[in-house]
Amino acid sequence: MVTELLPLQLAAELFPNGIARYAIGGLLVGLGTAIIYLGTGISAGASTFLESTLSYGSSLSRFQQYVSSRDWRVVFTLGIVLGAAAFAATFQSGVLSSSLYQAGSTGELYEFAGVTFWSTDVQPWRLLVGGVFVGIGTRVGKGCTSGHGVCGVGSASKTSIVGVVTFLLVAILTAQLVAALGVSP
């Protein structure tokens, strides 16, 4: 009996929130990328939006190279925001539910205009400083979690796999260090 329970206990420890919401969410992220790729041949990542949008206000050549794609990148980002808002209005608000969706317990929920919204408890300075590093790093390193992680790994690009392994290891070290220093949340 012990041998039968052990894998279950291990799974519960490694995946306290199950895997369904993660796997389904990931499949949808891939599907969104696939829809755009099938129609246009473009493998879209989320972080080029930062530079391409800066081209509206800056004449630096570094940003101007994205002028031809900046409008659809704004639309892509707008889609991401609205898609997440659709999730907030359905699953997060309890209008839809599924055995394949387990709600989280982190952060704060609040009601606005009949929709259940969510807000983080992570301190603003961490978000701001972390955001600056993310903004620099994704541009120096040619990609982010979606460009390298989903598109790059999906196309078995060695560059992307090295990029993902690098940022994953450094992120683990950083998060563990910050937690060890007593910063929470």
Which residues within the stretch 63-122 sit at the binding site for another protein (CB under 8 A)? 63, 65-66, 68, 71-72, 75-88, 91-92, 101, 104, 106-107, 110, 112, 115, 117-122
Which DSSP string do the residues of 128-178 spell out, in sequence order? HHHHHHHHHHHHHTT--IIIIIIIIHHTT-HHHHHHHHHHHHHHHHHHHHH
Which is nearer to another protein, 1 or 39 (by Cβ)? 39
Q: Which two tokens stand for residue 68?
A: 């031809």
Q: Where are the beta strands (DSSP E) in the chain?
A: 108-112, 115-119
Q: Is 24 in the site for another protein (CB under 8 A)?
A: yes
Instruction: Indicate the DSSP class of residue 92.
Output: I
Given 40, 56, 95, 97, the residue binding another protein (CB under 8 A): 40
Q: Is 172 in the site for another protein (CB under 8 A)?
A: yes
Is the omega angle on the peptide bond into residue 185 within 30 degrees of 0, that is, cis?
A: yes
Q: Is 178 in the site for another protein (CB under 8 A)?
A: yes
Given 6, 9, 35, 97, the residue binding another protein (CB under 8 A): 35
CB of 112 to another protein, least distance (A): 7
